[in-house]
Structure 1
Amino acid sequence: MPQGRKKMPFSGKAKKEQLKSKKQRKASSTPFMRGRENNECLDNTNKINFQSKKDPDSKTNKYALMFRRETENELRLRKEIARQSLVPVTEKELEIDARDYFPEEFDFPKRPEWSYELTKEELESNERKYFNEYLGKMEKNFTSSELGFFELNLETWRQLWRVIEMSDIILYILDIRFSNLMFPPSLYEYVTKELKKDFILVINKIDLAPAPLVVAWKSYFQEMYPDIHIVMFTSMPSYNLFGKQSNKGGLQVRRRRGRIHMAAEGAQTLLNVCKSIVGSEVDLSSWEQKIQEEMNADSKEAEQVEVGEVVEQKSVDTSFYQHERFNNGMLTIGCVGYPNVGKSSLMNALKGKKIVSVSRTPGHTKYFQTIFLTPNVRLCDCPGLVFPSRVPRMLQVLMGSFPIAQLREPYTTVKFLAERLNLQKLLRIEHPEQDDTWSAMDICDGWSKKRGFVTAKAARLDSYRGANSLLRMALDGKICLCFRPPKYHSRTDFWSNHPEVQKVLWIQAKSDEETTPSFLHHLDSSDEASDTEIHAENGIMSSENEDESSDDESDLEIQTMTNKFSLLRD
């Protein structure tokens, strides 16, 4: 047996260089980065959900999220800002206008011209060239401070192109809390003006906001985009929840029942819109029958109701597709939206059972999935896409566009949240230094002290873990920040008495005894935390995120569904 070479000692600096070169080799072997190492637009790219692999030709990281990496100088400046005193904003400043975040010059990547005479390699080369030129144009025309995070992976955009091409109706889903920040006008113009397709906007998670605010957002979108159809939806109506939903401090946890029912109210609203679009060209009677079965079943019988067969087809095919409207009597609905807006949960709620995997981590759905609601109605679930915009990065974290676990500096995001909500009283925390002036770091330390988050070696307060815990509570809705449409504050009485408020309560499945959840207004020093209700949609929270056990004792009685479908007769 030949004698092996004697190992030579090397310094820690040499070891770091070895690890650095190993990471570079892995990055260059990914399908997206292969052949693009010299592209200046992608030199400073951060790959999210990246997984190590043994086979260089594996497609494990083909759909990894990709964003521009922040510089060390940017991180240092943001940490200094997080140590500054909080400056509470006014109620008026929670009103947002889309034109501030989606200017006319902001567009999204569209599939370039193609023909069947081109080979697959030529097509992919043309798309890659176009996408690199698009990124170069964005980097040239806009500074990094103007641009928020947006998707840099061509493979993910190809999924969007495929879904748009094959769909008869585009179903765009957004989160009610950040409505204006999640709606790119360029996509609406492209679908309605260029492709001449119908566009349905789903205002999702309406259980996280009061009914007047939901009505105000619906009216805003109808006025701004006249060719749009609007559906209000929640995958967590009251009959899919149980127990008390708030603790003594005002934090509220929405506990989901193990067996969810079809969200029949939202499904009925969506069906009515689809019927008005397709007319007699597609038979939707089987879909309507499924909804009626759920409506006519009481709470006990509904446990045994089967709302349809499960037919799931996962596909990674992004080839070209010649669209034919309602081909063979089939209605194809493409579901598009930002990460974490509840696309997969919506599909499960329409079906009445879990057919699509859901996760709070952005990028969980990596390629579009085709789900058949009925034999002639199918949904195409597109991966969550972050469109180019000027939305601040702190807000993008709260929106769920960027994974919290990958966040290098979470404190400025906590500062953004704390200046709009009185987190000190809401969380009932004490100042770590017994001072009257609060900063974002103080709130993170105070929460870490209350929850017992300390570092392993020195046993100091773990500010980073505390900040991450607060951001996850905000993402789940336990800490709920809702923005308003323009001029909402001056017309609160009008929206409170709007006739559509009752329809929103019906979609939320609120009974006569229940009242609409109170909205989390801006809290000043005179506000009491107990007056605030904060909502969460994603079921039982982990023990790490829950408050004291004495505050979370819940009554396990299932809520009644009085007058559940009374508005259907109107």
Structure 2
Amino acid sequence: MVLPTSKKNVGLGKAMIRSRFRGGTRPKDHDTDLVHTTDMDDGPSWTKLQSITQEGDLDSFLRIAELADTDFTAHRQNVTVVSAEDNNPFLMSKDEESRVQKLHKTFQNEVVIPRRPHWEKTMTAREVQRNEQTSFLDWRRSLALLQEANGLLLTPYERNLEVWRQLWRVVERSQLVVQIVDARNPMTFRSEDLEKYVSEVHGGSVDCLLLVNKADLLTDSQRAQWADYFDKNNIKYKFFSAKISNVELERELEREMAELKLAEQKAKDDEDEDEDEDEDEESDNDEENKPESAEPVLPENNDDEFYPSAFGKSASKDPRIQILSCSELLDLFHATAQPSTNPEIPEQYRNKITIGLVGYPNVGKSSTINALIGTKKVAVASTPGKTKHFQTLHLDNKTILCDCPGLVFPSFATTQANMVCDGVLPIDTLREYTGPIGLVVRRVPKWYLEALYGIHISMPTVEEGGDGTNIPQPEDFLKSYAMARGFTKAGQGNPDEARGARYILKDYINAKLLYNHPPPDCKDAEAFNKEIYCVENLPKKKLFTAAEPTKQKKLLGTNTNLLTSKALDSQFFTSQKSLSAHAISKGKYQTDKFGRSTVYPHQRMANADGTISLQSSGPQSEFMVKDKKHRKSKKNGKVRNRMGYDV
């Protein structure tokens, strides 16, 4: 049979010829796919502002070469680059950690942020850019030498010059620089050198304020200890919670909407009454018979919705530990900052104060701005680095908020596991999870993990290779969690520990697993968090499983929803004697008595004197003896007839 003709030549010979000469084209001048190169600095602004905190050896080499304007020529095209991670992603022992912390105090003043070099109006843009690149390259080189010479480990700080330029612009135009930190670990998110840089730029005329966000996660005693530490070190601070402010704002909006609907409904009812003056009695009856649900109900102020415990409700009268509201925070801004006297600033902005908000990614800068403004003006995301460019927002006639992109400042760290648990590094791109989970099981007690997730963490004994402590291994915790949640690997059926680790770490960052770091002068972290890990702070669904046997009886009372399966079975079967254990028969010929087959006479029950009982156990017994037809329907036949279903 002859193949149909086609307009395209699809024969085998053409394919062989094309495969033979494939790859023989010479590279053109604009073709850079076959040589090692870096990205050109001529793209759009959003490509320049991509945050870079981690680089491989090759990427770091090429980026430094780009900053130095160094050209390289590739002599060989068949080059294979092998990169190996030489950092230790696992945890340190207590002795090693104490030794490293001593080194951190020794070289603390040498970890600085990059400064903007001096510039003048007579300089060209190329000269200013060249000076900034040279200064930035020297700064990176100094940190690398410090890290290699002393065997220290630095955090994966920001390596993109364009992101640091955003910080320089925010500091230069601000009359008050607010450094936002996470209340669970304030000292890790605080940059001391940033305060020095602000003083260098403005000559000491601009103050810095440490805004401790997420303060509702701290108890009164914990906030008091942090307040003592800040006062001792002359640090200007205030406690704030963007979450509480946003929730209160939403409730206020709901209340206003409900009041507006109620006013509209009353106005409509008044119009109906004016039109129907002759039918007052009927209208009165209609109003009496009107259901209550027709009127809009104002939302109740239930503080338990956003307070997981009583942490946010401060019972102390100490003004230092009070959580400021949005209005109180704005009053503090106006009292601290002064309008700028720079003649270069336009006249319409001289009477306004600019508040610069700076901090690490995911500490709540955008949420704080949304709480102050009252609307969602800034995008909020759990992934670090959502804000890509500094933004100026006019709050009122006297205040301008300047939001800086999230910056990872250079600082000392023990391992990358601490960075993951602090929320600086993204979890979705995490490859090594045993280190961060190891920190979680060290910080959170075992019984609290079991009660919160409803699991049992099996630990090996000393004979089986266990360490004899009450701290589980990360693998044991992840296996129990993955098996309870049904996370299995495809094709194997083994517990998917990596997937379970991502869920647990996100719970830790979102404060479902709460752990607060103590001040540096407090050595006992377990006693600092003792007030957090109690049965009362667990969700209501987990209270009974975590309570002791004596507390379980008090929790039970008359509430049968908290009964365990064993208690429910014992109460049910002991109260109803008719449900005692007995043999029954199920099927088409089941009876109320003992389920014994009595189709034939020799299968019938015997009396006390040994004679055969004439009482039949089933209505079909005699019929079965006379007729041996099994009367079984087809298995795959329909179960419905004209009378309904055969049950």
Aligned twin of 1:379: 401
- How does 1:378-457 map onto structure 2 within 5 Å? 378-392=400-414, 393-423=416-446, 425-426=448-449, 427-431=453-457, 437=466, 438-457=472-491
Change (3 A) 1:77 1:395: closer
> CA contact under 8 A between 2:113 and 2:194: conserved in structure 1?
yes
Q: Does 1:103 align with 2:108?
A: yes
- How does 1:218-367 map onto structure 2 within 5 Å? 218-224=227-233, 226=234, 228-237=235-244, 240=248, 265-278=324-337, 327-367=349-389
Amino acid at match of 2:364: G
- How does 1:470-549 map onto structure 2 within 5 Å? 470-488=504-522, 519-520=531-532, 530=535, 532-533=537-538
Task: Give the gaps of 5 or more residues in structure 2.
Answer: 1-6, 24-30, 58-82, 252-301, 313-321, 467-471, 540-560, 563-647
For 2:516, what is the secondary structure of its paired residue? coil
Change (3 A) 1:201 1:243: closer
Aligned twin of 1:369: 391
**C-alpha distance after superposition, 1:91-149 (max 9, x if no partner):** xx9xx999649811110011111111122222122212221221112112213752111
> CA contact under 8 A between 1:30 and 1:61: conserved in structure 2?
no
Q: Distance in 1 between matches of 2:335 and 2:106?
A: 32
Aligned twin of 2:222: 213
Amino acid at match of 2:402: C
Amino acid at match of 2:445: N
The structural deviation recorded for 1:201 is: 1.3
For 1:455, what is the secondary structure of its paired residue? coil
Aligned twin of 1:132: 137
Q: Distance in 2 between matches of 1:176 and 1:59?
A: 33
The structural deviation recorded for 1:400 is: 1.5
For 1:378, what is the secondary structure of its paired residue? strand
> CA contact under 8 A between 1:519 and 1:533: conserved in structure 2?
no
Q: Distance in 1 between matches of 2:103 and 2:335?
A: 28
Amino acid at match of 2:508: A
Change (3 A) 1:6 1:139: farther
Q: CA RMSD in A?
A: 4.4
TM-score normalised per structure 1: 0.63
Amino acid at match of 1:356: V
The structural deviation recorded for 1:368 is: 0.8
The structural deviation recorded for 1:369 is: 1.1
For 1:404, what is the secondary structure of its paired residue? coil
Aligned twin of 1:167: 174
Aligned twin of 2:626: none
Task: Give the gaps of 5 or more residues in structure 1.
Answer: 15-21, 35-55, 255-262, 283-320, 496-516, 522-528, 535-549, 552-570
Q: Distance in 2 between matches of 1:175 and 1:245?
A: 21
For 2:484, what is the secondary structure of its paired residue? helix
**C-alpha distance after superposition, 1:133-179 (max 9, x if no partner):** 21112112213752111111111111100100111110110000010
Aligned twin of 1:547: none
The structural deviation recorded for 1:267 is: 2.1
**C-alpha distance after superposition, 1:441-493 (max 9, x if no partner):** 22122211122211222222111111111111111111111101134468999
Aligned twin of 1:317: none
Q: Distance in 2 between matches of 1:208 and 1:456?
A: 38
Amino acid at match of 1:464: A
Q: Distance in 2 between matches of 1:423 and 1:322?
A: 61
2:120 to 115, 118, 122: 115
> CA contact under 8 A between 2:230 and 2:236: conserved in structure 1?
no
Identity of aligned residues (%): 27
> CA contact under 8 A between 2:215 and 2:240: conserved in structure 1?
yes
Amino acid at match of 2:242: S
> CA contact under 8 A between 2:517 and 2:525: conserved in structure 1?
no
Structure with the largest fraction of helix: 2
Amino acid at match of 2:170: V
Aligned twin of 2:186: 179
